[in-house]
């Protein structure tokens, strides 16, 4: 069994890790931390987990994380990097669901996240944890930076086009929508029911933190420089993400459907849907599945790619477990085969 620690277990990604790991055949959660809820039983805080865990949340200072095989950080930015050197020196693998190990350039990290990087020397060995694009690197890594939710949809939607060299890479557009759980479990005015419900709005139009991450990861797949307009939106639903991606075709003689089907053939968590499909967010709810549909409106020179995922699963906790499976030589699908919940 893999001995697992979870730092920051009371947020949405933390409880999602607990839900998914409870069904994992090789996972044994040994420790879960929370300063605020230290001493509280997991099942008392999350009744959905009754009968699955006898653990109580513990203060981080009282937990021996070095005795774990892997530690998930479901924490704000800055926490994982503060403990990374000590844990990796003890032979512990790290999967960070925040941004500490997503960007390779410490200067870029500091610009977008407003803090110096605590261990820039470890960035070079950290693997970016998008298995469909970085599977071999994840297998060999002792530190994995789990991708952001938006970047997961954007990269998997654009990469087949970039690799084929058939779009204008200087003018990509990503029009993305997320449920409110993407902002985390916190008290904030814009996330209150009476503010978010029956409403729809864009945010971070001047620049979102996921932009530099996405551009950095798209660049190796393109022969020409990549530039993108990325606009995120908040929609009045709890979980789910829908990204509509646009690019101008530089070649119109390519079978786009076949291109996507070939690129993701055999991928257990990427479903390229039949021509004309319109994937919706509820088709992936609570699952690790990401669905893609590719369109060429009016047979013109514009390609539209529709991508949906559950932002808390494939966009966060599920993808983190997918990475853990790779790091420990397990079947990539272990613990992640639950079907979407409908309605």
Q: What is the pLDDT of residues 161-209, one digit of tens each?
A: 999 999 999 999 999 999 988 777 766 776 777 777 888 899 999 999 9
210 with 302, same domain: the answer is: yes
Separation in Å, CA 205 to CA 177, 280, 302: 13, 24, 23
The CATH number of the domain holding residue 251 is 3.30.360.10
Number of domains in the chain: 2
Catalytic residue among 68, 119, 149, 176: 149
Q: Identify whether 279 is part of a domain.
A: yes
| 149 a catalytic residue | yes
Residue 160 scores a pLDDT above 90: yes
107 with 190, same domain: the answer is: no
The reported pLDDT for the residue numbered 221 is 98
162 with 117, same domain: the answer is: no
Mean predicted confidence (pLDDT) in 13-36: 96
120 with 156, same domain: the answer is: no
The reported pLDDT for the residue numbered 317 is 98
Give the HSE-up count for residue 300: Cα atoms under 13 Å, Cβ half-sphere.
8
120 with 155, same domain: the answer is: no
Claim: this prediction has a pTM higher than 0.85:
yes
Residue 14 scores a pLDDT above 70: yes
Largest CA distance in the chain: 63
| Other CB atoms within 10 A of residue 198 CB | 8
Instruction: Read off the pLDDT of residues 80-126 as tens digits, 9 standing for 90 and up.
Output: 999 999 999 999 999 999 999 999 999 999 999 999 999 999 999 99
120 with 160, same domain: the answer is: no
Q: Identify whether 34 is part of a domain.
A: yes
Q: What percentage of the chain exceeds 70 in pLDDT?
A: 99
Instruction: Read off the pLDDT of residues 251-286 as tens digits, 9 standing for 90 and up.
Output: 999 999 999 999 999 999 999 999 999 999 999 999
Q: Identify whether 323 is part of a domain.
A: no
109 with 176, same domain: the answer is: no
174 with 288, same domain: the answer is: yes
Q: What percentage of the chain exceeds 90 in pLDDT?
A: 91
Instruction: Read off the pLDDT of residues 33-85 as tens digits, 9 standing for 90 and up.
Output: 998 899 999 999 999 999 999 999 999 989 999 999 999 999 999 999 999 99
Spatial contact of 145 and 319, defined as CB atoms under 8 Å apart: no
204 with 158, same domain: the answer is: yes
Mapped onto helix, strand or coil, the DSSP state of residue 219 is helix
52 with 13, same domain: the answer is: yes
29/18 Cα distance (integer angstroms): 8
Q: Identify whether 144 is part of a domain.
A: no
Mean predicted confidence (pLDDT) in 16-31: 97
The 3-state secondary structure of 223-260 reads CCCCCEEEEEEECCCCCCEEEEEEEEECCCCCCHHHHH
115 with 179, same domain: the answer is: no
The reported pLDDT for the residue numbered 186 is 66
The reported pLDDT for the residue numbered 206 is 93
The reported pLDDT for the residue numbered 102 is 97
Q: Identify whether 272 is part of a domain.
A: yes
Residue 238 scores a pLDDT above 70: yes
Q: Which of 65, 93, 125 is the last residue of a domain?
A: 125
The reported pLDDT for the residue numbered 134 is 98
**Mean of all residue pLDDT scores within the chain:** 95
Q: Which domain holds residue 48?
A: 2-125
121 with 153, same domain: the answer is: no
The reported pLDDT for the residue numbered 274 is 98
172/214 Cα distance (integer angstroms): 12
Mean predicted confidence (pLDDT) in 313-327: 98
The CATH number of the domain holding residue 17 is 3.40.50.720
């Amino acid at each position: 069994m893999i001995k697992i620690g979870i730092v920051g277990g009371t947020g949405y990604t933390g409880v999602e890790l607990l839900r998914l790991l409870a069904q994992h055949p090789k996972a044994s959660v040994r420790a879960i931390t929370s300063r605020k809820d230290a001493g509280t039983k997991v099942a008392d805080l999350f009744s959905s987990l009754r009968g699955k865990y006898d653990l109580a949340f513990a203060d981080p200072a009282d937990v021996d994380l070095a005795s774990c095989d892997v530690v998930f950080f479901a924490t704000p930015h800055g926490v994982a990097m503060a403990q990374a050197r000590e844990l990796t020196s003890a032979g512990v693998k790290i999967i960070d669901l925040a941004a500490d190990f997503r960007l390779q350039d410490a200067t870029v990290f500091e610009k977008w996240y407003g803090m110096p990087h605590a261990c820039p020397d470890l960035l070079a060995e950290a693997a970016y944890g998008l298995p469909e694009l970085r599977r071999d690197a994840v297998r060999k890594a002792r530190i994995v930076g789990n991708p952001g939710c938006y970047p997961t949809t954007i990269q998997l939607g654009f990469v087949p086009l970039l690799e084929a060299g058939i779009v204008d890479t200087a003018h990509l557009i990503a029009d993305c929508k997320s449920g409110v759980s993407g902002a985390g479990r916190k008290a904030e005015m814009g996330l209150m029911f009476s503010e978010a419900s029956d409403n729809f709005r864009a945010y971070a139009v001047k620049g979102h933190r996921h932009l530099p991450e996405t551009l950095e990861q798209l660049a190796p797949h393109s022969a020409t420089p990549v530039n993108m307009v990325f606009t995120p939106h908040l929609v009045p639903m709890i979980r789910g993400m829908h990204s509509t991606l646009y690019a101008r075709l530089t070649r119109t003689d390519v079978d786009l459907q076949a291109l996507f089907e070939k690129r993701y053939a055999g991928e257990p968590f990427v479903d390229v849907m039949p021509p004309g499909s319109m994937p919706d967010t509820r088709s992936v709810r609570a699952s690790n599945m990401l669905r893609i549909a590719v369109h060429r409106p009016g047979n013109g020179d514009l390609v539209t790619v529709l991508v949906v995922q559950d932002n808390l699963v494939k966009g966060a906790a599920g993808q983190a477990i997918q990475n853990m499976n790779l790091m420990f030589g397990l079947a990539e699908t272990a613990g992640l085969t639950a079907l979407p919940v409908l309605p």
